[in-house]
Amino acid sequence: MESLIKLAEAAQSFVLKNWYSRKTFYSVLCAYGVYKVIYYTLLDPLRKIPGPWMARFNTFALGRANVTGDFTRYCLDLHEKYGPVVRIGPNRVSDCKTKDFKKILATYRFRKSANYDGFANVHQSLFSTRSEEFNRMRRRQVGPAFSQTGLDSMDSSVETVCVDAFIEKLNQLVDAGHGSAEFNFFKYYQNVTAEVIGLLAFGERFHAVENGGHEITEWIDASMKNFGLSKSFPIMKVAMAVIPSLSVNETKLRKFCLEAINKRRQLIKTNKIDANQVDILQMLITATNTSNKKPLTDDELIAEMVTMVIAGVDTTSITMTWLTTFYMLYPQIYKRVVDEIRTNFPDKNHKITDKEAREKLPYFIATVYETLRLRGSVGASLNRDVPKEGVELSGYYIPGGTVVGMFIPGCHADTDVWKNPNSYNPDRFMGPDGEELKKEVVSFSTGVRICVGRNLAWMEIFMIMPNLIRNFDLSAPKDWQFSPTILDPTRDNEPLLPNDVTFATRPPANPDRDSRVVITRCA
């Protein structure tokens, strides 16, 4: 043993004396740099993909855009400059062609990329999992709750929140304001969607509407920012585990879900659960994993419930926020929506159901689709790993192992599909051609990993917005910094929109300032 130690010490001494010098270090570093330049210029299989020169070597610019919330603008600028397929890193490509989007998302062959691990909290979930088998299993377990049949069974409960509680709260605000009131629609839409997901996921209400808020929405907002950091810098997940203060809100959200799980288990144990209760938590607690034939663990349950809460609250409320913003910036479109709703539903006491909205409000529905297209709630890319055989996308061969980001906002500006993509024009979705165009809106993704909660999102929007517009007149506050006459030259002189930020979802950057509206009761 002594001889081995002496040999190791001698070898170490030789290396330090003969190789480890400042000159040698810089020589090796320089040689490595030259090798990298030669490789990425002459040998790299992605060298023909256009993009920023530095993207061949690192993802610093991409990481900065993710951290600052500028991801959407960053990628839109790159695609405008370089085309539909752009290199954004040594092993990463961004694609904004709709036909490529559908090709990639149509099959499990293109596996979710490693950045989805950043969205996993204590365990993989329906959203974060990269496993085809796990995804199929979870969809079977929770899918019935989000089917149209499952949602129809919750219709009256959802109506109580989306219509009764929300309209009553707005009436209280108007009464307190002696006939008019200003309210932050971003926050109130969050409150309503939080109530709905409380019912559907946990079987109970948060009373966020009546109380003007619930801390769960604050946890969600903070969690989305941390998820954005984790997906770009995986080391952040380690840091958050070591330094609890970095993930206080995620911890609170997980604790909230665990308490709900334990409460439900106690009700089941004491036979106090309603036999007719059908919600996501009940489905998951009584489910069995096909892999091990065992019930879901606490960590598995928490992971799914956290995912349901975040997805159920954030995306739908953001969609309605941008919809309301567009109404204020395009008064002629807003007037047409108002006329359609109030003509078809003249009785103020009648509560418009989502089914009635689908049947009688085609123009309103067209505005929702146009909002999803032009300012959808998701501003990020859906990243997929290219299988070993590679794939051709828009004339470029992409080798196996490359990460391809299917950039949703870019697809919604694809000029092969959309005429005048910068224009907010709901009429494009009217008539037979419009019905076909609706299939090109990919805000809920498409293919094998399409959003399981899309039916719930439609249900909420089709209940909340028509009843809001039926009962109240909306107008922009006098001090609002935006107007139909303040134009944006980068959008072909369309009205200037409030800034947005992207941490997976795409809310307004400053909702306290930019997401306000004045309401009065309609005549």
Instruction: Return the H-helix or E-strand segment holding 465.
Output: helix 454-471
Q: Within 10 Å of residue 68's Cβ, how many Cβ atoms?
A: 14
Q: Within 10 Å of residue 522's Cβ, how many Cβ atoms?
A: 13
126's CB contacts (< 8 A; 6+ apart) are: 135, 138, 139, 142, 304, 307, 452
Burial class (CB in 10 A: 0-12, 13-18, 19+), 367: buried
3-state secondary structure of 423: coil
Reading the block at residue 26, the tokens are 């810089």
Contacts 24+ apart (CB under 8 A), 348-357: 348/470, 348/471, 351/159, 351/163, 351/164, 351/467, 352/163, 352/463, 352/466, 352/467, 352/470, 353/155, 353/159, 353/463, 354/155, 354/458, 354/459, 354/462, 354/463, 357/462, 357/463, 357/466
Beta-sheet pairing, 472-475 with 516-521: antiparallel
Beta-sheet pairing, 403-407 with 92-95: parallel
DSSP class of residue 122 equals: S
Q: How far apart are CA 127 and CA 451, in angstroms?
A: 9
Q: How far apart are CA 334 and CA 224, in angstroms?
A: 31
Given a contact cutoff of 8 angstroms between Cβ atoms, the answer to whether 205 and 90 are in contact is no
CA angle, corner 440, sides to 436 and 445, nearest 5? 135
Q: How far apart are CA 71 and CA 385, in angstroms?
A: 20
Find out whether 411 is annotated in a ligand binding site.
no
Q: How far apart are CA 346 and CA 42, in angstroms?
A: 69
DSSP class of residue 351 equals: P
State the residue for tokens 């109240």.
472
3-state secondary structure of 350: coil
325's CB contacts (< 8 A; 6+ apart) are: 375, 482, 497, 498, 508, 514, 515
State the residue for tokens 């330049």.
37
CA angle, corner 382, sides to 376 and 385, nearest 5? 170
Binding residue ranges for heme:
451
- Which residues carry a binding-site annotation? 451
